[in-house]
């Protein structure tokens, strides 16, 4: 071999054998107990993050990094995905999303029934101060991207949103032409990025939709790869029929189904959660993709106006207020409230404790404000007189709306649902800030504590779930439901959404009597590679992104 050629080959070989200097990681998490999100046991490893993504997982302790996080003694998990969240507008008022970030939540899925779009051009300013300057769900996403936010955001398109866009609030059946108009709105929202169709069928106008109507709308979502997320029609005496309806819609539309906060919410039926779980399992055994989510509390939040019978809501809130002031109509309301109506889920009858099972979340009228956070029974006792008359008077004084926590299901039933292999965790809460404009009121403690409560109470204390199981229910299960393929797991090349917590002390502190308390034990939260919570303090970083659904056409 000529000498010059040998030198060239030697030079090439030596160049290939030299190790290229490793670029520093933006963030390097070292020494933590890594749970990947798939339910497998934890392993001690380091996690290297660069350009917003996980680059390597392994022994990286000697690697260079711009920022190092010592996670020794801590658990490193995928950021939690809240599959059922109501921050559609609070995230515009307070984009830091404090109460969710501090729980380890890195993605919020919005849009239950009343999604942020479509809306009519004249929507204007809302009561909470948000100015609606968009008309479509895609326009809402654009607003989020301009303003920025701390968590990732995904959304369904809401059935009630498209229903009222087409029909308003009159309680009349949908005509074939109206259903076609609704289908077109669902299709547009799916093309703009919706994850699927969501319903809340307890009260009108959503309760006016027939099974056939819902199936037609769900078929459109299916065409775009979406799911059907449903707050079923009845969680009390009609719960079995309501779950059967959800199963039927899933079968007829050939669409995956997620039942929102599945529960038995009527005292006379407590102990029968195993029966509704068996219904879902039978459908799954038959090949249907049907799942559910659950929150770790035995109370839900709705509105005091839901105690007023459905017929009184015909035409919307102003018509409701007119009826509430009419003595003859009030007598009819009173009779229906106390005795119930066929097919109507009545919160008053369901709690088992009557007025004592209702905690008032938000009251604005000077006469009522001292009872914010108190039970409805306390307000009634203070006023005296007929309890139903007090209820109707308060609704008039409060403009027809009083957010209310209802204590209506049992701990054993809730735990049974939580343990099912196909249930995931969702808060049904919203991102709020103790010190900000979203702080006033007396909300459900799930706004502050859902995910740490699962880890602290139901994993560490009660052993209802193992830690890997719980993390899976908060991460990969929710990602898989809505087709997010690059989040929800700690894997190389995935987006770096990470929650780092102390499994030995993580716990919620928010209670029904004192909800405005952040949890303990969540040490760091990383969103798209950006450290958003560090040593229990929000950094102010707004690194969240809009996550678009599988049918998006952009």
Burial 123-151 (b: 16+ CB within 10 A, else e): eeeeeeebebebbbbbbbbebbeeeebbb
Q: Are 510 and 447 in contact (CB under 8 A)?
A: yes
β-pair partners for 401: none
CA–CA distance, 522 with 499 (Å, rounded to integer): 7
| Local structure of 393: helix, strand or coil | helix
Token pair listed for 137: 């769900």
CA 541 to chain centre: 22
> Whose structure tokens read 């009159």?
170
Instruction: With a cut of 80, say whether residue 258 has pLDDT above it.
Output: yes
Going by the DSSP 8-state scheme, the letter that residue 40 receives in this structure is P
CA–CA distance, 464 with 404 (Å, rounded to integer): 29
Strands 537-538 and 530-534: antiparallel
Q: Are 523 and 46 in contact (CB under 8 A)?
A: no
Going by the DSSP 8-state scheme, the letter that residue 304 receives in this structure is G
Instruction: With a cut of 80, say whether residue 5 has pLDDT above it.
Output: no
Burial 302-323 (b: 16+ CB within 10 A, else e): bbbbbbbbbebbbbeeebbeeb
Torsion 89-250-477-426 (CA) sign:
positive
What pLDDT score was predicted for residue 187?
98
CB atoms within 10 A of CB 325: 12
CA–CA distance, 216 with 234 (Å, rounded to integer): 21
CA–CA distance, 203 with 200 (Å, rounded to integer): 8
Average pLDDT over residues 99-115: 98
Average pLDDT over residues 45-70: 97
Average pLDDT over residues 290-297: 98
Which has the closest alpha carbon to 77: 524, 536, 542, 545?
A: 524
Domain boundaries, the chain: 78-298+409-506+518-538, 302-407
What pLDDT score was predicted for residue 303?
95
Average pLDDT over residues 392-411: 96
Give the torsion through C-alpha atoms of 69, 70, 74, 78, to 10 deg.
30
Q: State the pLDDT confidence band at 20, using cuts at 50, 70 and 90.
A: low
Q: Cα(first)–Cα(last) distance of the chain, in Å?
A: 59
Which has the closest alpha carbon to 405: 444, 433, 356, 374?
A: 444
β-pair partners for 82: 108
Q: What is the pLDDT of residues 333-382, one digit of tens each?
A: 999 999 999 989 988 888 888 999 999 999 999 999 999 999 999 999 99
Q: Which helix (H) or strand (E) holds 470?
A: helix 467-474
CA–CA distance, 207 with 139 (Å, rounded to integer): 27
Q: What is the maximum span of the chain, computed from C-alpha positions, in angstroms? A: 111
CATH class of 78-298+409-506+518-538: alpha beta
Token pair listed for 76: 């490193």
What pLDDT score was predicted for residue 389?
97
What pLDDT score was predicted for residue 10?
28
CA–CA distance, 417 with 119 (Å, rounded to integer): 36
Mean pLDDT of the chain: 94
Q: What is the pLDDT of residues 29-39, one digit of tens each?
A: 999 999 999 99
CA–CA distance, 424 with 469 (Å, rounded to integer): 10
What pLDDT score was predicted for residue 417?
98
Following DSSP, what letter does each residue of 75-98 receive, concatenated?
EEEEPEEESSB--TTHHHH-TT-H
Which has the closest alpha carbon to 77: 520, 423, 469, 415?
A: 469
What pLDDT score was predicted for residue 127?
84
What pLDDT score was predicted for residue 351?
86
Q: Are 78 and 497 in contact (CB under 8 A)?
A: yes
Q: What is the pLDDT of residues 159-193, one digit of tens each?
A: 999 999 999 999 999 999 999 999 999 999 999 99
Strands 358-360 and 403-407: antiparallel
Instruction: With a cut of 60, say whether residue 12 has pLDDT above it.
Output: no
Q: State the pLDDT confidence band at 2, using cuts at 50, 70 and 90.
A: very low
CA–CA distance, 27 with 543 (Å, rounded to integer): 15
Token pair listed for 405: 């926590």
CA–CA distance, 146 with 143 (Å, rounded to integer): 5
Q: Which helix (H) or strand (E) holds 144?
A: helix 137-147
For residue 151, CA distances in Å to 109, 159, 337 come to 10, 25, 41
Q: State the pLDDT confidence band at 522, using cuts at 50, 70 and 90.
A: very high
Which has the closest alpha carbon to 112: 65, 156, 71?
A: 156
Q: State the pLDDT confidence band at 21, using cuts at 50, 70 and 90.
A: low
Pure H helices in 363-466:
376-383, 387-397, 411-419, 446-453
CA–CA distance, 505 with 73 (Å, rounded to integer): 11
Q: What is the pTM of this model?
A: 0.94
CA–CA distance, 324 with 380 (Å, rounded to integer): 17
């Amino acid at each position: 071999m000529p000498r010059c050629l040998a030198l060239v080959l030697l030079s090439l070989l030596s160049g290939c054998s030299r190790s290229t200097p490793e670029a520093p990681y933006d963030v390097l998490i070292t020494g933590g107990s890594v749970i990947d999100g798939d339910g497998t046991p934890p392993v001690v490893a380091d996690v290297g993050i660069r350009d917003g993504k996980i680059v390597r997982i392994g022994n990286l302790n000697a690697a260079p990094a711009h920022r190092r996080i010592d996670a020794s003694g801590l658990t490193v998990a995928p950021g939690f995905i809240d599959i059922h969240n109501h921050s559609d507008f609070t995230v515009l008022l307070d984009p830091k999303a404090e109460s969710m970030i501090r729980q380890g939540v890195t993605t919020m899925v919005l849009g239950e029934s009343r999604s942020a779009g479509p809306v009519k051009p004249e929507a204007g300013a809302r009561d909470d101060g948000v100015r609606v300057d968009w008309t479509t769900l895609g326009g809402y996403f654009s607003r989020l991207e301009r303003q920025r936010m701390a968590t990732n955001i995904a959304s369904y398109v809401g059935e009630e949103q498209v229903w009222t866009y087409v029909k308003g609030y009159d309680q009349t059946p949908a005509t074939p032409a109206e259903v076609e108009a609704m289908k077109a709105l669902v299709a547009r929202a799916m093309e703009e990025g919706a994850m699927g169709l969501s319903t809340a069928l307890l009260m009108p106008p959503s309760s006016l939709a027939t099974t056939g109507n819902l199936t037609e709308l769900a078929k459109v979502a299916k065409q775009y790869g979406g799911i059907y997320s449903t707050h079923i029609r009845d969680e009390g005496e009609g719960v079995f029929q309501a779950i059967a309806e959800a199963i039927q819609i899933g079968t007829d539309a050939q669409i995956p189904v997620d039942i929102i906060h599945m529960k038995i919410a009527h005292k006379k039926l407590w102990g029968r959660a195993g029966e509704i779980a068996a219904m879902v399992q039978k459908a799954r055994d038959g090949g249907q993709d049907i799942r559910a989510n659950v929150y770790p509390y035995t109370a839900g939040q709705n509105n005091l106006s839901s105690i007023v019978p459905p017929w009184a809501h015909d035409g919307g809130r102003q018509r409701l207020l007119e009826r509430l002031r009419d003595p003859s109509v009030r007598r009819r309301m009173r009779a229906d409230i106390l005795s119930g109506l066929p097919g109507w889920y009545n919160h008053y009858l369901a709690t088992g404790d009557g007025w004592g099972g209702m905690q008032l979340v938000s009251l604005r009228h000077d006469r009522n404000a001292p009872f914010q956070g108190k039970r409805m029974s306390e307000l009634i006792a203070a006023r005296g007189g007929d309890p139903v008359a007090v209820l109707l008077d308060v609704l008039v004084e409060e403009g027809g709306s009083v957010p209310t926590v209802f204590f209506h299901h049992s701990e054993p039933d809730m735990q049974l649902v939580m343990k099912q292999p196909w249930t995931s965790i969702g808060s049904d809460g919203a991102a709020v800030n103790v010190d900000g404009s979203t702080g006033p009121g007396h909300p459900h403690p799930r706004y502050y504590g859902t995910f740490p409560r699962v880890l602290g109470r139901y994993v560490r204390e009660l052993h209802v779930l193992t830690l890997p199981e719980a993390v899976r229910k908060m991460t990969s299960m929710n990602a898989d439901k809505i087709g997010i393929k690059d989040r929800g797991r700690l894997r190389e090349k995935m987006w770096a959404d990470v929650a780092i917590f102390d499994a030995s002390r993580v716990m919620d502190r928010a209670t029904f009597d004192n909800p405005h308390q952040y949890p303990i034990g969540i040490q760091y939260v990383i969103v798209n590679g950006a450290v958003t919570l560090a040593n229990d303090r929000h950094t102010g970083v707004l690194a969240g992104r809009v996550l678009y659904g599988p049918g998006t056409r952009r």
